[in-house]
Amino acid sequence: MSTSQLYLSKQEIEELVRDIPQDTSILYGEENQEFGVCPYVTFYICNKDCVEILNKVVAIYIEFENSIIDKPFQLRFRSDTEVWKKADKWIRSRNEMLTEMTTVYKKHFIYYIGATSAESPNQSARWALGAKIRNSNERYSSLKLTFGDKWYRSNKIVWHSFVKKCLEQLNPVQAYSGYEIGNTGQFAFISPEFETAERIFTEYFYGLDIDHPGMEFSHENMFVSEDRDALGGGIRTPTWCFLLSPYWLEKLGLSEEQIREKLNDPRIEITKIEDSENPNLYSLWIRLGELSLYPVEEGVPDLLVLANELIKPIRCDNLKLTTLDAWSDDPNPRFDAVSAKQWIARFDKDSTWPELKRVEVEAQEPERIDIVLAGEPCPHAGYWYTFAKENSRQYFKQGDIFPDFESDWGDVYWQFDGEE
């Protein structure tokens, strides 16, 4: 990217804003450096035992590659030489990775695992995996997965089940999922082109998130208490899915029941994740309706406003949104300290983000859902029944999964039958 010319013209921006919501597979930019909008999930993990974290990440890596992705990886990262290799020629076993990690830790505090279906690590991918396993408490370890948007639309139950399994195994302190400018292959820094694209398109899509390597400073890091410009200092404003772990639930000071009451909307699903290390603790994985970019011209999304109000007391208002500083003569927009705060607070009642584009839409009472496919969560508490089984009427709590049965009628549906 030239530091004296605009990366994207006004016409290019207008065309991408028009086309991307219709086709999120669009890639744009210089060859092997193209950016695109991609769904992702990231898990941030406290460092207690790096070998244990490696074993869990490798197990997820294997399942992700063998059972989830529908396009093969093209490249894998070799951490000891910091080089991307052809995927079919560089396949490491768990023990080989452990040996490699031990060697890397003699020089560095971080071990990388990476794989991408793209032709270059600097290109947004349909499928990608990036893990950073650290041997210190200064930053969180992390696992990030980019997943195919089109594939997800046809495999929602499979994906949500896989993510829940990841949450149970990793026991993260924070986790997020949504859309971003796909950057999973960029480990230490995000390219200036991608950071420019983030700054531009967040003004057009409320559902576009920003998830960066520089955000990983942990709550145990001594600098966070002063600057609070990383995730150790607070929760990032959610755009779709987010986690409230025991650490942040305590900071928030609300019970599970109080949180469910504040997020009492049939479009929101709250999944309780039991803590694998302490049976008295739990996390809440919260999904805010459907995965969406939420174009700005359609108005401020009410579900994201609702979630923002919940996490506002523990929100990281000073979160740094760039990994590299802009050049003094660079005409391309990038986030700075002022605009970053405005973006983080974009769902506040007094927000004007984005300037001159914001549209306020009067909130409407959501339509109650009274018939649900088996295997899906219960949208609201009460008694439900299904024609697929006699004497099936029973009480379900919000979030309970409706059981499935073999039925000559085909798909099994549960119907609401009152609260008593």
Q: Give the integer Cα–Cα distance in Å for 211 and 179.
A: 10
Is residue 284 within 8 A of residue 272, CB to CB? The reply is yes
Residue numbers of the chain with a pLDDT score lower than 70: 1-4, 221-228, 356-367, 408-409
410: left (phi over 0), alpha (psi -120 to 50) or beta: left
pLDDT digits over 148-161, tens only? 999 999 999 999 99
Question: In terms of Cα–Cα distance, which of 386, 383, 394, 388 is closest to 417?
Answer: 383
**What is the per-residue pLDDT for 126?**
96
Both tokens of residue 20? 């991307």
**What is the per-residue pLDDT for 189?**
86
**What is the per-residue pLDDT for 222?**
47
Strand partners, 97: none
Those residues with Cβ within 8 angstroms of residue 288's Cβ, 6 or more apart along the chain or in another chain:
238, 239, 240, 241, 267, 268, 303, 304, 306, 307
The model's pTM is 0.83
pLDDT digits over 305-330, tens only? 999 999 999 999 999 998 877 777 78
pLDDT digits over 387-409, tens only? 788 888 999 998 899 998 877 66
**Per-state percent for the chain, helix, strand, coil, to nearest 5:** 30, 20, 50
The pLDDT mean for the chain works out to 90
